[in-house]
A and B are shown apart, each in its own frame.
Chain A
Amino acid sequence: MSRYSSLATHRMGRRGLLKAGGAMAAAGALTPMTFAIREAGAQDVTTITMWGNHPEWADAMGEIIAAFESVEPTVQIDFSAVTSDQYGAKIQTAIQGGETSDIFGDQEGSVIVRVRAGGELPFIDVTDRVDVSGLTDTARGQVEVDGVVYGCPLAAYTVGLAINNQVFADAGVVPPTTWDELTATCEALKSAGVAAPIVLGGKDWVHPYFMYIGLASSVLRPEGVEAVRQGTKSLSDPDVVSAVQLLVDLMPYYNAGFEATDYTTAKAIFANGQGAMMVAGTTDYTGYYQVNPDADLSFVAWPGPGPDMTATTTGFELLYTVSAFSDTEKQDAAAKFVNWLATVEAQQMVMDKISLAVHKDITESVDPIRTETIAASRGVDVPVWYAVPELNGSVIATQDNHGGLWTGRISPQEFSDIQQAAVVPSGAATPTA
């Protein structure tokens, strides 16, 4: 007998009928309650998405988000992160598809550039919803354009040289402060059997770029960078070209195969003690310690061309804004988070768990590396070039040409000429060459 025919011929007894009736009545009573609970839940909690670009910060971000959710229980944030080299492509693709996360993390300098370029913006005006009055002037300058507020930076970072103290101690050398000392230190480290006196991930543009702007900034100083912005100083000048020449001269001291080494692998090589120095921002240390919790590291400014000419460059992590592609309810929820991110409470957590705070009232951290970084950046500090509209083209110029520098296809002078051609001095509408 088939199941169908068995059910069709089944006779329900009196007891069974009562049970079924009772069950239906109970279900009937519970159903509106269930819907009521669901409806209340749907009204009370808005779940929004947020993307980040440092997977190694996932735990710290989780704690920061949990702190926000405890003060704002009606908002729940679904956070996910990809590596920095993938984030740019991800966000570009998402903008083109109109499918960004609700809390939209734009990259530093990008808010100014997008607003000045005009046209449709991927984020909205949050002037009345986000209080940025407590932020440092430079942080505020990243998210406030012509009096309109678009968001809040997650954190700041200062870029210089990370030092593996143990490797230095084993080789009997101390961190360099001048270019001559840098070359001599590299030679000493190599002689001591260190595989990579300087670790460089040359597969993408990030490390070569920061080495270039770090060394060039030690030549230029803040006033020189300002002169380049104004068009009265050129990146093709011999003193700046010498910084590019140094990049090439240091090639024997980079890790073998550095041209094809990606950012993450480079960090692992350094943190595991196979490298002695590495271009590093404040935020990179979390990743180093994740690779090797026992690593003994410190931070120094970029060596300069002469004595007392060290320099650092400072920039910002993602500029969190509110996505223009989200619906109004999610935009409201996202704005609450961005506003909370600008508070002392949030920024102290950032300072203790991630990087340098962007709130002007926070100067101390539980992290000793951040204390060293603050000390180093109190010397000569220059803004990272891509966060400055006039020098923003330096990224693409590096991205497209650093490979040629390593293979010898282009000379340091040609590289510098390309960089200068990408400069848009204040008031000029197009590149200068």
Chain B
Amino acid sequence: MPADNRGNSESGWRFPEVPYFWFILPGLLAYSILFIWPTIRSFYLSLYDWSGRGPLGPIVWEQNFRNIVHSDKFWQAAGNSFKLFIFIFIFQNTISLGLALLLNRGGASTHFFRVIIFLPQIMSAVATGIIWILMLDPIIGAINPFLADIGLESFQRQWQSDPAWALRTVMIVMAWQWNGMAVILYLAGLQNVPEDLRHAAMIDGAGRFRTFKDITFPMLAPAFTIVTVLSFILIFRAFDLIYILGGPAGVPDGATLVLGVLIYSDAFGQGAFNSQARFSFAMAEGVTLFIFLAAISGLLIWLLGRREAAVKT
């Protein structure tokens, strides 16, 4: 009997898929217990007044969500997250894409530079955050003296405490960390662009820029979709590196506060004596963020998917 037909029973159950089901079952169970169930549970808890311990308080969902709408901190954090995403989006589609194009040209040191560029991505965010803090410190840091040594004294800043520069500093550090992911994704995309198409365009007289604009970049549509959607989700829920750089309050005075840090601070307090943990309020913030991310990500995937389809045709 041909293998393809073995599972065609009257009930519609495809027998050949059964072994795969058992293979994925442990992972599926773990994922359900550790991710899906807590997510569903957080929707439930966001309806109540609960500090995180003891019995649930009364249902106050309306108050929780109304407080979010009227919370200056929430909108400040949302605004910072949005600015961060815009910066990372532009960075990844200029600098990261440019680096991917350079690496795609090959050469003896290509592998070395790939490793160097991807390294920040796999390093501990806490460790890199602490190293950045030390480097950026105006008194004991290395960056300001380095700028002075190369004659750029005017570029010296109080990187983390100047309200005008604190978020920009976080943006630079985040871009450094996430650059590797975008470069690798674009590099994978570039390696799928048929060489004969590019050659044909060049034979027809197209220059390098024209070939990139009309052939290479459109063919990178799937990679562009992945980079954009991933960056959007990762930036809006970013926590670890930004928490290390800006602390629970997003110093100075909330200038580096982003949604991930705000939710954590509300859930667990700011690490202070008798911090007021507002777990259910933090859950409501998390639910709001979840819905926002799901909606915008869905929209992005739909829009960019249409663009991919247009490129294919």
Contacts and interface: CB of A to CB of B under 8 A. Distances in A.
A108 B273 contact: yes
Interface stretch (B29-37, B106-114, B135-143, B221-229): B135-143
B53 A403 contact: no
Interface in A224-277: 255-262, 265, 268-269, 272, 274
Contacts, number: 128
B140 A265 contact: yes
Contacts of B253: 259, 403-404, 406-407, 409
Contact of A260 (B251, B273, B277): B251
A107 B138 contact: no
Nearest to B249: A403
B161 A261 contact: yes
A196 B269 contact: no
A119 interface: yes
A237 B139 CA distance: 37
Contacts of B159: 257, 260
Interface in A183-205: 195-196, 202-205
A80 B240 CA distance: 22
Contacts of B279: 96
Contacts of B139: 195-196, 255-257, 269, 274
B247 interface: yes
B163 interface: yes
Contacts of A109: 273-274
B239 to A, nearest CB: 13
A96 B161 contact: no
Given A96-B53, A109-B273, A407 B137 contact: no
Nearest to A196: B139
A110 B272 contact: no
B161 A265 contact: no
B179 interface: no
Interface string B258-302: 000000000011111111110100000000000000000000000
Interface of A: 85-90, 92-93, 95-96, 107-110, 113, 119-120, 195-196, 202-205, 255-262, 265, 268-269, 272, 274, 386, 392, 395-396, 399-400, 403-404, 406-407, 409
Given A203-B247, A204-B249, A386-B273, 8 more contacts: A96-B268, A109-B274, A202-B252, A204-B272, A261-B137, A272-B140, A399-B275, A406-B253
